[in-house]
Amino acid sequence: IERKLLQKMTTHKAHCLILPYPAQGHINPMLQFSKRLQSKSVKITIATTKSFLKTMQELSTLVSIEAISDGYDDGGHEQAGSFVTYITRFKEVGSDTLSHLIETLTTRGCPVNCIIYDPFLPWAVEVAKKYGLACAAFFTQSCAVDNIYYYVHKGVIKLPPTEVDEQVLVPGLLTIEKSDVPTFVSNPESAKILEMLVDQFSNLENVDWVLINSFYELEKEIIDWMSKLYPIKTIGPTIPSIYLDKRLPNDKEYGLSVFKPMTNECLNWLNHQPISSVVYVSFGSYAKLEPDQMEELAWGLRNSNKNFLWVVRSNEESKLPKNYLEELKLASENKGLVVSWCPQLQILEHKSIGCFLTHCGWNSTLEAISLGVPMVAMPQWSDQPTNAKLVEDVWEIGVRAKQDDKGIVRREVIEECIRLVMEEEKGKMIKENAKKWKELARNAVDEGGSSDRNIEEFVSKLMTIS
């Protein structure tokens, strides 16, 4: 596959420079999309920060990566100290170093035709315009969430929202309550982050395409509504082709991970578990659980009496109850395995998995949809509450574990939700729906499907302008 892609690169007809926001959940969907473009004779160069590159444990072997600077080459975001400081300096230094990269690539005989940027970095539009390049925004979150930030941008949602009234109904969502909006909207303390999110729309009318990592069938009403405002193209789900679309059968590379995936231990363990018996538990690359929440989750999983595979990142491990891991190892039935990271797609695809207890990060949500795994949603922050709302009430492929008035999901609730999905009558309906959405996701990226057509149109337009 690598040789074939490289051969295609040598005959490429357009060159896209990809600018992701330097975070695992942002760079990976753009990488997957890049590989798809590359398989269609588009040359790809990914530009990411020096500091982010240093944290990489796994690099893609399939696309070329160049470093730019965010002004904090030693420690990136952590070095900056505050989010606002980071984003302000990134704009300044990033614009210069991205410009320099475009000039260098031209000198090397590889001129860029189009910048595909994460709208968390809207200054990329000005860089594209300066060089007369085409420009596409790539939203890594759901169209529903983008739509909510758009409403904030337009002042339809007032800040801080004491309550969200009917006028801010998101097309295609049922009723949206305060607990369903992204936390940056509902929490006044996140005002600065929200400013950045709203800024995504500040110059969006100047771009040639708005690409969204979703698929038409999944968010029809919202996409139809947003398409009246912007040149929207849904191109997802962007997961490696081996899991969804067999046209590139060997591409299962997830790539660009800041963690080392633990392959054999997890898969060997799963191979010994009965079909659909295991609860897979993960909160993605970033979310930090309150110690109380960690404790409740630990006992909820044990008490559910189900087998579970739980990803606890090493920086979270100290929050586990005392002796929990030791007792788990000694337990005669060997019910649970705790690992610090795993190859999530391979896990979700495994026949032993019965449900996914997830924070509902958008990538995890799309991956569960694509592989037909029902969910127990335990959103933590950012876009996750809205994704959980969609999972439970719109697509009906999971249940949301409700928090108490202290903001903690108690062990009994966790136990109950797991049972509901894995054992009860309602669980059967959820599983049927999960199968249906898996099929629709597959159709979207398959030849002639909604996302496939959008990608084809995007590529052919690129070819004409290049």
Among 147, 200, 344, 370, binds ligand UDX (CB under 6 A): 344
What are the catalytic residues? 26, 118
The neighbour count for residue 381, using CB atoms within 10 Å, is 16
Among 251, 383, 415, 452, binds ligand UDX (CB under 6 A): 383
Is residue 338 near ligand UDX by the rule CB under 6 A?
no
Is residue 451 near ligand UDX by the rule CB under 6 A?
no
Least separation in angstroms between residue 5's CB and ligand UDX is 22
Least separation in angstroms between residue 313's CB and ligand UDX is 8
Least separation in angstroms between residue 383's CB and ligand UDX is 5
Is residue 24 near ligand UDX by the rule CB under 6 A?
yes
Contact 219, 346 (CB under 8 A): no
Q: In sequence order, what are the beta bridge partners of 377?
A: 358, 400
Among 370, 384, 450, 451, binds ligand UDX (CB under 6 A): 384
Tokens describing residue 273: 């578990």
Distance CA(253)–CA(31), nearest Å, equals 10
Tokens describing residue 331: 């337990």
Among 180, 219, 367, 452, binds ligand UDX (CB under 6 A): 367
Query: For 40-103, what is the HEC assignment?
Result: CCEEEEEEEEHHHHHHCCECCCCCEEEEECCCCCCCHHHHHCCHHHHHHHHHHHHHHHHHHHHH
- Long-range contacts, 116-120 (Cβ 8 Å, 24+): 116/16, 116/17, 116/18, 116/19, 116/30, 116/33, 116/211, 117/18, 117/19, 118/19, 118/20, 118/21, 118/26, 118/30, 119/200, 119/201, 119/204, 120/21, 120/26, 120/196, 120/197, 120/200
Choices 88-96, 118-126, 338-346, 451-459; region in contact with ligand UDX by CB under 6 A = 338-346
Choices 161-169, 185-193, 357-365, 418-426; region in contact with ligand UDX by CB under 6 A = 357-365
Is residue 180 near ligand UDX by the rule CB under 6 A?
no
> Could you tell me how many residues of this chain bind ligand UDX (CB under 6 A)?
25
Give 356's DSSP letter.
E
Choices 153-161, 228-236, 377-385, 410-418; region in contact with ligand UDX by CB under 6 A = 377-385
Give the CA radius of gyration of the chain: 22
Half-sphere exposure (Cβ direction) of 55: Cα atoms closer than 13 Å: 18
Among 149, 243, 310, 341, binds ligand UDX (CB under 6 A): 341
By residue count, the chain amounts to: 466
N-terminal to C-terminal alpha carbon distance within the chain: 26
Among 293, 363, 370, 451, binds ligand UDX (CB under 6 A): 363
Q: For residues 97 and 142, which CB has a smaller minimum distance to ligand UDX in the complex?
A: 142
Please report the sign of the dihedral spanned by the C-alpha atoms of residue 171, residue 177, residue 181, residue 187. positive
Is residue 244 near ligand UDX by the rule CB under 6 A?
no
**Helix, strand, or coil (residue 415):** helix
Is residue 284 near ligand UDX by the rule CB under 6 A?
yes
Q: In sequence order, what are the beta bridge partners of 67?
A: 48
Among 287, 298, 378, 440, binds ligand UDX (CB under 6 A): 287
Choices 97-105, 200-208, 280-288, 402-410; region in contact with ligand UDX by CB under 6 A = 280-288
Among 382, 443, 451, 454, binds ligand UDX (CB under 6 A): 382
Binding residues vs ligand UDX (CB under 6 A):
23-26, 28, 140-141, 282, 284-287, 311, 341-342, 344-345, 361-364, 367, 382-384
